[in-house]
Amino acid sequence: MTPSDQIDRLRSTLLDWYDREGRTLPWRVRPEDRARGRVADPYAVWLSEIMLQQTTVPHATPYWFRFLDLWPRVDDLAAAPRADVMREWAGLGYYARARNLHACAGAVSEDHDGRFPDTLEGLRALPGIGEYTANAILAAAFDKPASVVDGNVERVITRLYRINTPLPKAKPEIRRLASAIASPDRPGDYAQAIMDLGATVCVPRTPGCAACPWAFACEARAAGDMSRYPLKEKKKPKPVRRGIAWLVRSPKGVWLRQRPDKGLLGGMMEVPSTPWGEAEPEGDPPFAGEWADRGEVRHVFTHFELRLSVREAAALPDWEPDEGGWVREKALEREALPSVMRKVVAARSR
């Protein structure tokens, strides 16, 4: 079989598999949907792609439905107060995405008359849209040729060709090989098909090779070492940062303040704390009182592990915070509190 014949067979077998086995997702337009006249909604596709960065489909899907219910069009999202968007985003993590989501909606609404650009350059120019996301939107929303390579695609390609260069150094080679297979006739379906293959069959552990349409060509399967790929450079241990969280309660609620827009958890609400650093935390409490030790909360971020010692006290009768304010206990669920801060608030039960 010539290399050209091999590519043709890879394309046809993957697309045949996708037509039968591809996932049905609420933002996705499958071939049978197009036959009934349905077309992709770029706004819905964009929203899903931003939410799915660092998040699984089952976790992101309820948020996607809620956002569309609250803001059915990109113009609606652009007009919404950013605080409302941040609050609805709470629980999805990586909160810079929420700030960029709102900024992107504003740019599309104001600069593009509410229509997403259908070119790679136009999409890349929007806030929060990088190379991968722009290609994913281009393929899924506009059915245009695109180089869509996420973690699932990296796994599939490194196994298919048994690439022994570790990630991230292997990324250019993976993109080149993946682009060579991409279907020029059904670019949108191909991009979603190869991502589905990685997400449902060519999974990290115990891949389902018996159900894989590319089993006939997979070099790792032939060698019997599928789970070895993709190779990755050894990760350095995450540094540990520490701080003290001052959990203050009063009849008015819990003391919260908003973090600065720039930086980690930017724009989100927080239980006030000392600065986070690698040394043992030091700092005076907001007021002199009886501070109870509620133990330590641990949370792993991308680049470091955070350990917060939680100290709790009841506010003195005449004390009011000089920044932030009170949020009633029953309203905490609707606040834009990141997961680590919800752990801090819950620490009182320990």
Which sequence positions are flagged as catalytic?
49
Asked if residue 168 has a cis previous peptide bond (ω within 30° of 0), the answer is yes
The pairing of strands 240-250 and 305-314 is: parallel
Q: Which residues contact 333 (CB under 8 A, 6 or more apart)?
A: none
Ranges assigned E (strand) in the chain = 240-250, 253-258, 269-270, 292-300, 305-314, 325-327
> What residues does 244 pair with on adjacent strands?
309
Contact call for residues 327 and 256 (beta carbons, < 8 A): yes
Contact call for residues 80 and 102 (beta carbons, < 8 A): yes
Number of C-beta neighbours around residue 237 at 10 A: 6
Number of C-beta neighbours around residue 66 at 10 A: 11
Q: Which residues contact 27 (CB under 8 A, 6 or more apart)?
A: 40, 41, 44, 45, 47, 48, 64, 140
> What residues does 277 pair with on adjacent strands?
242
The amino acid present at 26, given as its one-letter code, is: P
> What residues does 297 pair with on adjacent strands?
308
Region of 37 on the Ramachandran plot (φ > 0 left; ψ -120 to 50 alpha; else beta): left
End-to-end C-alpha distance for the chain, whole angstroms: 65
- Apex CA 141: angle with CA 78 and CA 180, to 5°? 135
Distance CA 161, CA 154 (A): 11
10 Å CB burial of residue 299 (0-12, 13-18, 19+) is middle
CA 27 to chain centre: 16
